[in-house]
Amino acid sequence: MKNQILLIDDDNSFRKLLSVRLKSFIAEPVFTEFDHLASARKFLQEQESLPFELVVLDQHLPDGSGSDFLAEGWFQDIAVLSVSSDDAPEIPGQSITAGAGYFLSKKSISEPLFAPLVRGLMERNRLMKELLSSRVNNAVIDSIKTHVGTLRHEVNNPLGAVLGAAYLLRMSEQATPEQKEAAELVERSGKRIKHVLDEICKAIELETPLQAVNKANQRVFHIPGDKPWEE
């Protein structure tokens, strides 16, 4: 599996060194690089989602600071590795406050702890992606359940009236054979519609509706002709 890595740094020599270092312990890295915040911002604006397992962001770029860029909210669900060659004591705190997952001095990329740090950040980002995907899937399922439940309710209301009328017509002594045949056809078709809706509801694990409801001040327990009437 390819590992997508975003590098935003105007120091071309550092980006090359960092790429070599990351390739030494990351399988199949694919680098996307920018040396200005404006170009990175334009790229991110065009993305529907961020595919990156790792984002490395310099704190001093020609057109702005990494902290200000972080504060814009581009990487809310990604633990960003903020880097800088600036030894000013306030830089790490500014980076973390702006939203970075970790701050590291550029000279530290050659140290032994760099590799486990990066692996930890990448693992954290993978877990976050899985969590967000799970939340999205659950939201979609909940929406489907709501719409199907509404559809069943809206269909069952007129369907109950239609099947009730067909049932009464079929049982009427005054009905002609043709009318009774038509009523039977309506009942069969209506029951098929209800069966399909019930099976869809079972498939998405919707709760079974109450067997008794109030309709026009009357207590209605079942659609005439439907189970358990046939049993």
Comparison of pLDDT for 11 and 229, the residue scoring more: 11
The domain ranges of the chain are 3-111, 144-220
E-state strands within the chain:
3-8, 29-34, 54-58, 60-61, 64-65, 81-84, 102-105, 213-215, 218-220
Choose among 108, 101, 95, 112: nearest CA to 55: 101
Domain 3-111 -> CATH class: alpha beta
Convert the pLDDT of each residue in 95-134 to its tens digit.
999 999 999 999 999 999 999 999 999 998 888 888 776 7
pLDDT of residue 74: 92
Convert the pLDDT of each residue in 189-209 to its tens digit.
888 877 777 777 777 665 444
Comparison of pLDDT for 158 and 114, the residue scoring more: 114
pLDDT band at residue 23 under the 50/70/90 scheme = very high
Rounded Cα gap, residues 12 and 162, in angstroms: 75
Share of the chain above pLDDT 90, in %: 45
* Number of residues assigned to the chain: 231
